[in-house]
Chains A and B, each alone.
Chain A
Amino acid sequence: MRGGEDMLRVESLRVQQGAFSLRADFEVAQGRRVAVIGPSGAGKSTLLGALGGYVDVADGRVHVGTRDVTNAAPDERDIAMLFQDGNLFPHLTLAQNVGLGLRPALRLSKAESDRVHQALRRVGLGDFAHRKPGDISGGQQSRAALARVLLQGKPLLLLDEPFAALGPALRVEMLELTSEVVRETGATLLMITHAPEDAEQAADDVIFVDDGRVHTPRAVADVMADPPEALRAYLGR
């Protein structure tokens, strides 16, 4: 379909949560930035949770790269994920928080420690290495989380609205930084958003989720120019 190999392949995925069920069947090519949009309760977070290994899958397979990760633990899926909140441990310094991306046991060598500081400088937090999350602003916390993503260097990045609590200007800034991080690590990106302009700014493709149905990705420009009926209703156009 598109050039390059598929980084994410979701085959006949089904998630069952009480009366709610989610179905998905799609591929995302390597290096694409995909916005996941849709009404609240449609199943966006459930989809990302299932991909990340936090939600039990009833049926179907998930492949990341060439690996089947359907039953793998969250940290063994080649996936980095940021959540709406709680992306940093409040009792650890930023350097320690970021260092966890390299070594979960936090015993860093000199070289690794240098890389941590380099990553912090990259996101503009060079002077904040020894601060704790409680002492910095929400935008800076997002930067620190992105610095960790940078170090994790996973091929697939999932964002479950980590910037939702930020103001519009800061959100734009974070999306730009995210795009840069993705470009530098060559990662593929899936991010949930509520704002169509976010999708237009920072995504190549759009996945529309509606009432448990996950549509296949389409190029942003195409979708926005000619949205399907359900998306039209959601966007209010």
Chain B
Amino acid sequence: MARNPQPIRTSAFAAPFAAGIVIVMILAALGAVASRADGAVRFGPADWAALRFTLWQALLSALFSVVFAIPVARALARRRFRGRGLLVTLLGAPFILPVIVAVMGILSVFGRTGWVSQALALLGFEPLSIYGLEGVLIAHVFFNMPLATRLLVQGWSAVPAEQFRLVGQLGLPPTVVFRTVEWPVLRQVVPGAFALIFVICLTSFAVALTLGGGPRATTIELAIYQAFRFEFDLGRAAALSLVQLAVAGGAALLALWILPPLVMQAGRDRSPQRWDARTLTVRALDCFWIVLAAAFLLLPLVAVLQAGVFGLFKMPPLVWSAALTSIWVAIFSTVLLIALALPIAASLAHRKRGGLESVTLLGLAASPLMIGTGWFILIHPYADPQVFALPVTAAVNTLMALPFAVRILLPGLRQAFTDYGRLSGALGLHGVALWRIVLIPRIRPQLGFAAGLTAALSVGDLGVVTLFANPEFATLPLQMYRLMGSYRTDAAAGAALLLLALALAMFWMCDAWGRRHAAG
């Protein structure tokens, strides 16, 4: 029998309204930018270099992340050991880790005076120098290898347990298992993971700002910032913004078709038991990859903790006021995100594919710096843009989190409509009552997770705020960046620890709200 249509009404105008806000925020910025890009726009050699570097580093970042992720994910998928769950959870951590904190950790491990360099010096080698392409790649792999790994582990966990039982019973060798069971999943997941990471890295700013720079390692995003901040050349910033939009927007549209569904909910990891890959060599190899990945992810965090504890007492009072500002930014972003993501996701849940989804992807493609530049241009003639630093920063952070949030909320809402659409219709539940009584309770865990993600991303964001900052206004990541820039390493380390704690605490609070009284 055919499935019934869903006689459920959320709100006819909420979704177009929310989508409209997103579009207006982006298009207004784009229009403002474009209006400045007329006339004598010089797109010089430095700009071409930025474009080349942007594409090149994104390609390499995606490549290394996925190639590193495959053996790690394979090992995680077929081994069970104590701490495995913790490690899988840890793979989700880089997503909510403030970039600047990770950069500091990476510098402590791989930097010129870092642990690896110190070890090399003992052996009589030159210390590492990671500023430039190497540093950018290490940071991007640090952030995105875990994402690729999770997508792969998730893909392999979805293989029916019966297949692995059969594999074990027949005693199939690893090569055959790879061909018959593992390869089909890889073929499905890898292109999407690669595309996602490529798009994310295209608009990378904070990493390039801290680890790149100079003529040989400047991304377009960073070039926008420099044109704006150092030369106040709005025309050039505008031209670069348009290039960035074309590059990232084009890539995002291409990626739209192959993007994997994002199920990033922790604690949903139930891998089937496996009986293959029992030889000592294979086991040793798996162990090697797991230890390597764990060390690569954990050592920078350990470095941050260790240095931070000492630095906490050397922080200037400015750090505390910046922390307060950051908390406000995060709260504002999260509230706005919920107001935008819920109606858009609900509207998407009704249809199979919709234009609305591309609206959310605009957030992924449009560069934050472009939007920031645009709004600066818009506000400038009428008021001091710095007065609007907080709302603009918060709103741009919301736009960046929106595509992820919508994808997190969508499956739960679809399920809620399928299971309770008829009943809600029969009882005449719609509008606010429908959200309050049915939908929110049903998607509470996902909503908490999405809100937590947004809060953490927003509190740790070092992007558009750099355009609007002045000596009196700074968020915590920006304050930390300034401390690093003025070589107050201890104070910066303290700020890093504070920022890490804030991001984790905000994520945890929202996520815990979602899990508490989770609907049965």
Residues of A within 8 A of B (CB): 17-18, 20, 41, 45-46, 49, 52-56, 73-76, 80-81, 83, 86-92, 96, 100-101, 104-106, 132, 134
Contacts and interface: CB of A to CB of B under 8 A. Distances in A.
Contacts of B432: 105
B420 to A, nearest CB: 6
A55 B4 contact: yes
B442 interface: yes
Contacts of B519: 90-91
B426 A81 contact: yes
11 contacts: A17-B2, A54-B4, A74-B422, A74-B426, A81-B426, A92-B441, A100-B429, A104-B428, A104-B433, A105-B432, A105-B433
A83 B421 CA distance: 12
B7 A74 contact: yes
- Chain B interface size, under 10 / 10 to 19 / 20 to 34 / 35 or more: 20 to 34
B423 A90 contact: no
B2 A91 contact: no
A156 B235 CA distance: 70
B443 to A, nearest CB: 11
B520 interface: yes
B123 interface: no
Contacts of A105: 432-433, 437
Nearest to A76: B428
B426 A80 contact: yes
A106 B317 CA distance: 49
Contacts of B9: 73
A89 B1 contact: no
Contact of B422 (A20, A83, A92, A134): A83
Report the 9 A-B pairs with minimum CB-CB distance, sorted nearest first. A75-B428, A91-B519, A74-B425, A54-B4, A105-B433, A91-B441, A17-B2, A104-B428, A134-B520
Contacts of A49: 4
B340 to A, nearest CB: 24
A91 B519 CA distance: 5
A56 B423 CA distance: 17
Contacts of B438: 89
B419 interface: yes
A100 B427 contact: yes
Interface in B1-51: 1-2, 4-5, 7, 9
B423 A87 contact: yes
B428 A91 contact: no
Nearest to B437: A106
A73 B425 contact: yes
Contact of B425 (A18, A54, A88): A54
Nearest to A88: B423
A75 B427 contact: yes
Contacts of B426: 52, 74-75, 80-81
A91 B441 CA distance: 7
Max chain A C-beta neighbours (<10 A), residue from B4, B419, B442: B4
Contact of A92 (B4, B430, B437): B437
A20 B426 CA distance: 25
A86 B328 CA distance: 41
A45 B1 contact: yes
A199 to B, nearest CB: 21
A206 B109 CA distance: 80
Contact of B437 (A41, A54, A74, A100): A100
Given A91-B519, A100-B429, A41 B1 contact: yes
Max chain B C-beta neighbours (<10 A), residue from A46, A54, A132: A54
B427 A18 contact: no
B427 A53 contact: no
Nearest to B441: A91
Contacts of A80: 426
A100 B433 CA distance: 10
Given A83-B422, A134-B520, 5 more contacts: A46-B1, A76-B428, A90-B519, A100-B427, A104-B433
A9 B9 CA distance: 27
Nearest to B423: A86
B437 A89 contact: yes
Nearest to A75: B428
Max chain A C-beta neighbours (<10 A), residue from B428, B430, B432, B519: B428
Given A73-B7, A81-B426, A104-B433, A132 B2 contact: no
A89 B7 contact: no
Given A74-B426, A75-B428, A55 B419 contact: no
Max chain A C-beta neighbours (<10 A), residue from B427, B428, B432, B520: B427
B5 A89 contact: no
A67 B408 CA distance: 43
Contacts of A46: 1-2
Contacts of A132: 520
B247 to A, nearest CB: 45
A75 B422 contact: no
A86 B422 contact: yes
Contact of A91 (B422, B425, B442): B442
Given A41-B1, A90-B520, A104-B433, A83 B423 contact: yes
A74 B332 CA distance: 38
B427 A104 contact: yes
B177 to A, nearest CB: 39
Given A89-B420, A91-B442, A105-B433, A75 B5 contact: no
B1 A18 contact: no
Interface string B426-454: 11111011001110011000000000000
Nearest to B6: A54
Contacts of B429: 75, 100, 104
B344 to A, nearest CB: 23
B433 A106 contact: yes
Contacts of B520: 90-91, 132, 134
B4 to A, nearest CB: 4
Contacts of A134: 520
A76 B5 CA distance: 17
Nearest to B434: A104
Contacts of A81: 426
A4 B430 CA distance: 35
A77 to B, nearest CB: 9
B94 to A, nearest CB: 33
A49 B436 CA distance: 26
A165 B289 CA distance: 50
